[in-house]
Structure 1
């Protein structure tokens, strides 16, 4: 009876943990993972030597290939025609096709729902009336149904609260011998120390130069729609480099900057930020006007606001670099940069956009970090 109950729980949980569309460019081979040759070599050596850890943490800017690499690694381990040591999944066997579709019975996924600010606890350990009988941690410990092992990916690891992270600790510390757990986040600093200490960390750097342009072009082509008027091949290298620099390597931001013509808002915003004492009214009006020109849809406005703040971050970083070259240091510039960086956390917490813009503009004028404890 116990076995049947566990099997039934796993089946029910599967509807929650595996019904996730993979929002990343599919890779046919490891050579398609642009700019991460050393990381690929490390993974290959670990697999061939049988030393691939049971818990991995992929960190790096958005859009640089973390999710694509995690899915390709899943294919590599579950492919029915090629052994993992070959690092060459066939892409055509039932297992590879199911992994790409996110429907393989031994491929578990959990991500933050769009309408939540954090990953709900029930996705990790099941609802209150079925604690530890459903969810990510439960499914990982079930026997593989089709392959020799399971692979479990926890997307959006940045959005684990302390209680959720604590639920994962034992599973990460002692993962089943026939399972691989991959956590995906933007940086090590956004993960609790207890999580980092239990995972092997793989750092995905944002490609630069030709690799960066190649990756951005690929991302632009992959994200294109039927109504897209942008001719990717006609975008200049200079425009791609500028978008990558402004986005600090976040390819999703770079895509929006290229598609949205970031030059106009960048020039206008930098002109405002260059003032010794920025005008809060002018800055708020400029930002709000830009958001209105993008969309009335709140998620799109939040994305556009991230782009605006990315432009501001690059402005203040340039100022600090230029000051350092001349042997100077302006603490007001440092505080304004710190305040700008805090805005990303506020966006993640679904702060009211109008209030956020007004507070940000006022704090820039005062050159304050805007640190309001748990809120700021």
Structure 2
């Protein structure tokens, strides 16, 4: 089973350290106090905002046997807490999309063909807890469930075991099938702004900084700009604030502001930036393309807002914004990057959405 290995420093030690989500903590605390925590939860919000941290803190809270869950203060030192942080607790089930797959494989949910319903996420949720009284099952990357995979989960989500908490983690409600949404209690995580947003972004940058090096010293205005450019995606904001896209930004904006962007120059700019990041590692190249598209999205949104203030509507910019948003979906679907960049550059020049039926 694909179990995400999350370093112990990648999520807070306590609920007090979870930045910007006091409402979420309060809701979960109330449910635990009233003995109503259970069933199926759907955590949605931008990448890097703290959904996974909250899910693991909840697992630690439920599975810690030194502190009552109602106190919302897991000790962090007992074997249960240590196993949760190391992703080795027998009563914590975690499944995520393998890096080499575009969707969560069916066998991770209901077992391989030769052992259907005898292995996998749905089977393991129904097993009795091995160490404590409850189980916690976390399905990361819920955005990457296809219809068949989602259908396999429906009965488990609708009638979860009384001693289990099931948590699905995705980026938005819209990316989940209606049948999944209707069976889950949705908890929406928003990107913190202001002081909390800057603090969380600084933490992300600190983790990204190589060992032995000091993180870059960034002014509050630079951090705020990175968060705005990334539209709340803290992973993208971290890379932008770290200066990984600064040089290319000016060249890209010059083309985006042209009445007819040159597709060859746009493609050359993007490809050169991706090559600087990595010539072979597809995940890094996809992340780099996300950064550039985030810059384009914010640029076109700004242009459309300004036009609206003047009582105008710029159809070309609206279509280019829509085309840029399509790129994110195509990245998630593991589209060929070379073809994607060429098509995107051409469509920006022509000011068309790139709607090719079921593609994009």
The reply on whether 1:268 has 2:238 as its aligned counterpart is: no
Unpaired runs of at least 5, structure 2: none
Superimposed CA distance per residue, residues 37-64 of structure 1 (whole angstroms, 9 cap, x where no aligned partner): 1111111111111222410000000001
Instruction: Using the TM superposition, give the Cα deviation of residue 281 of structure 1 relative to its aligned residue in structure 2, in angstroms.
Output: 1.1
The reply on whether 1:77 has 2:51 as its aligned counterpart is: no
Residues of 2 paired with 1:261 and 1:303: CA distance? 11
The reply on whether 1:286 has 2:269 as its aligned counterpart is: yes
The reply on whether 1:338 has 2:317 as its aligned counterpart is: no
Residues of 1 paired with 2:334 and 2:146: CA distance? 15
Instruction: Using the TM superposition, give the Cα deviation of residue 230 of structure 1 relative to its aligned residue in structure 2, in angstroms.
Output: 5.1
Residues of 2 paired with 1:364 and 1:200: CA distance? 39
Q: 1:52 aligns with which of 31, 37, 43?
A: 37
The reply on whether 1:34 has 2:19 as its aligned counterpart is: yes
CA RMSD of aligned residues (A): 1.3
Q: 1:254 aligns with which of 221, 234, 237?
A: 237
Q: 2:287 aligns with which of 294, 303, 317?
A: 303
Superimposed CA distance per residue, residues 324-373 of structure 1 (whole angstroms, 9 cap, x where no aligned partner): 11111111111110100000111111111111111001111111110112
Residues of 2 paired with 1:357 and 1:86: CA distance? 51
Residues of 2 paired with 1:310 and 1:119: CA distance? 26
Aligned to 1:312: 296
Please give the secondary structure, in 2, of the residue aligned with 1:333.
helix
Residues of 1 paired with 2:323 and 2:283: CA distance? 22
Instruction: Using the TM superposition, give the Cα deviation of residue 26 of structure 1 relative to its aligned residue in structure 2, in angstroms.
Output: 2.2
Superimposed CA distance per residue, residues 97-137 of structure 1 (whole angstroms, 9 cap, x where no aligned partner): 00000000000000000000000000000000000000000
Please give the secondary structure, in 2, of the residue aligned with 1:370.
coil
Aligned to 1:160: 145
Residues of 2 paired with 1:159 and 1:349: CA distance? 9
The reply on whether 1:349 has 2:348 as its aligned counterpart is: no
The answer as to whether partners of 1:53 and 1:200 remain within 8 angstroms in 2 is no
Aligned to 2:77: 92
Q: 1:358 aligns with which of 329, 342, 350?
A: 342
Residues of 2 paired with 1:199 and 1:61: CA distance? 19
Residues of 2 paired with 1:117 and 1:207: CA distance? 29
Residues of 2 paired with 1:320 and 1:176: CA distance? 49
Please give the secondary structure, in 2, of the residue aligned with 1:260.
coil
Superimposed CA distance per residue, residues 1-54 of structure 1 (whole angstroms, 9 cap, x where no aligned partner): xxxxxxxxxxxxxxx25x430267221111111111111111111111122241
The reply on whether 1:202 has 2:187 as its aligned counterpart is: yes
The answer as to whether partners of 2:319 and 2:353 remain within 8 angstroms in 1 is yes
Farther off after superposition, 290-299 or 97-106: 290-299
Aligned to 1:219: 204
Residues of 2 paired with 1:353 and 1:309: CA distance? 13
Aligned to 2:129: 144
The answer as to whether partners of 1:335 and 1:368 remain within 8 angstroms in 2 is yes
The reply on whether 1:373 has 2:360 as its aligned counterpart is: no
Residues of 1 paired with 2:310 and 2:31: CA distance? 46
The answer as to whether partners of 1:339 and 1:363 remain within 8 angstroms in 2 is yes
Aligned to 1:8: none
Please give the secondary structure, in 2, of the residue aligned with 1:375.
coil
Instruction: Using the TM superposition, give the Cα deviation of residue 260 of structure 1 relative to its aligned residue in structure 2, in angstroms.
Output: 3.5
Instruction: Using the TM superposition, give the Cα deviation of residue 222 of structure 1 relative to its aligned residue in structure 2, in angstroms.
Output: 2.3
- Given the two structures, how large is their TM-score scaled by the length of structure 2? 0.97
Aligned to 1:4: none
Residues of 2 paired with 1:123 and 1:172: CA distance? 16
Count of matched residue pairs: 358
Aligned to 2:158: 173
The answer as to whether partners of 2:39 and 2:164 remain within 8 angstroms in 1 is yes
The answer as to whether partners of 1:188 and 1:196 remain within 8 angstroms in 2 is yes
Aligned to 2:222: 239
Residues of 2 paired with 1:62 and 1:230: CA distance? 24
Unpaired runs of at least 5, structure 1: 1-15
Please give the secondary structure, in 2, of the residue aligned with 1:151.
strand
The answer as to whether partners of 1:111 and 1:156 remain within 8 angstroms in 2 is yes
